[in-house]
Amino acid sequence: MAGAVDLTGTPRHPLLRHSLRSAGIAAALLALLCAYLVIAVKQADAAAVPVSRGRPVLASSVENGGVPAAAAVDGNNGTRWSSAFGDPQWLRVDLGSPTAINQVVLRWEGAYASGFQIQTSADGSAWTTIHTTTAGTGGEQTLNVSGNGRYVRLYTTQRATQWGVSLWEFEVYGGGGGGGPIVRVAEFLADCPYSHRLPDDPIIYPGLPGASHMHSFFGATSTNAHTTVDTLLNGSSNCNPSVDLSSYWVPTLYADNQPVEPTGTTFYYLGEGVRDDVIARTQPIPLGLRIVAGNAKATAPDDTTIARWSCLHAGHVGASKNFVNCPAGTMLESYLDFPQCWNGRDLDSPDHKSHMAYPVAGDCPASHPVPVPKLRQVLRYPVNGDPARFRLASGAGYTMHGDFFNAWPVEEMARRVRDCIRPIIKCGADGRP
């Protein structure tokens, strides 16, 4: 009988066999096309990484140490930035080079702003508004914009609640626009917000709780007098990137005898201050290395005063070894460069300094022949005005100093030195250009 099917289920009629075979091929091709489209969409989604991800960020204020500015650009929807309770507030991200901006995504927590602006700037001082609203709705807002700048700022003018303003994520999208894909600066960085205060110092006074003046700690969240490299490696960190388990600390700043913590805390690792051929042979900072920079016992500004004080967006004030008088609306800044030449043997020394040295004439001295990335500590405090109101736990502004206890995983530090420092490429917190 025409078209009958035998016991194996195979059609006996040749036309029917051909039709079914063609249908099967078509179905297979359709399935392959669908799979390709799904993969392509996923790849496109994966490629849409914000240019703000992991970049240095600064805020007008933070509600407390658990909601730092860096949390708004860490790519984690479970962490957030939250401001103090007042208007206006702002959050600024440094993209590293001039960038064409085409979209901004705001993921608000419940405390959102009904009035805000998106602004861009070439220098972080003069701002151009590329979006403004007085009817913000909170939630997730996707804003299609057009602008160009190295800096992008969310400037809030009106809170929608009695609280501050709070963002899970501040995402800036774009690319190109004048800087090129690779910036020829030997750099990678870590944003490590304030964690806690203790009168401890595990480098100067190991095992002696309360023996030190008050310190403000950044990065590793449980640093105390008993901290070792093992406790750091097995502990937690608030850094972006989270793989940086190091501990950083400075004497606490007081304004009118009240402690003030920085709202901008970036630790740059640099290949600078030496010749290019020295940069090319830079070695990773060894695990467990401890470095102290500055002089906590200085009695006046002198050659041991390494730190500099200045004002954010008020360059006319100039830098000083002691506190400066910053105009209203600006912030007090502290810059501190750590030595970058290692003796190649010791992770510490009796005076906590002599195993490290600063370069001389663009090279490391023979006594300290191993170049490592220079650590530059940049702290921005939300205070300004009469410097007579300020003091450090260690004394005057010229006693500013910094301590660093390295706990970067060996492979992460090595990759950043190989991919960023030696080839002289500017990398973000993820260690990539």
> pLDDT tens-digit profile of 10-61?
444 444 444 444 555 455 555 555 554 444 444 434 447 889 988 888 999 9
Say how far apart CA 184 and CA 420 lie, in whole Å. Answer: 9
Hey, what amino acid is at 86? Answer: G
> How far is residue 391's CA from residue 306's CA, in Å, rounded to a whole number?
17
Residue 5 has pLDDT above 60, yes or no: no
pLDDT tier for residue 71 given thresholds of 50, 70 and 90:
confident
pLDDT for res 45: 41
Mean pLDDT confidence for 93-113: 91
pTM: 0.72
Closest CA to 291 of 343, 361, 242, 366: 343
Residue 221: name the closest of 240, 247, 243 by CA.
247
* The two three-digit tokens of residue 375, written as one number: 């650590």
CATH architecture type of domain 57-174 = Sandwich (2.60)
Share of the chain above pLDDT 90, in %: 72
Can you say whether residue 322 is alpha, beta or left, with left for phi > 0 and alpha for psi between -120 and 50 degrees? beta
Domain ranges of the chain: 57-174, 187-421
The predicted pLDDT at position 389 comes to 97
Average pLDDT over residues 325-338: 94
Q: Where are the beta strands (DSSP E) in 85-233?
A: 89-108, 113-121, 128-133, 140-159, 166-174, 187-191, 194-198, 215-219
In tens, the pLDDT along 224-263 reads: 999 999 999 999 999 999 999 999 999 999 999 999 999 9
Cα distance between residue 27 and residue 19, in whole Å: 12
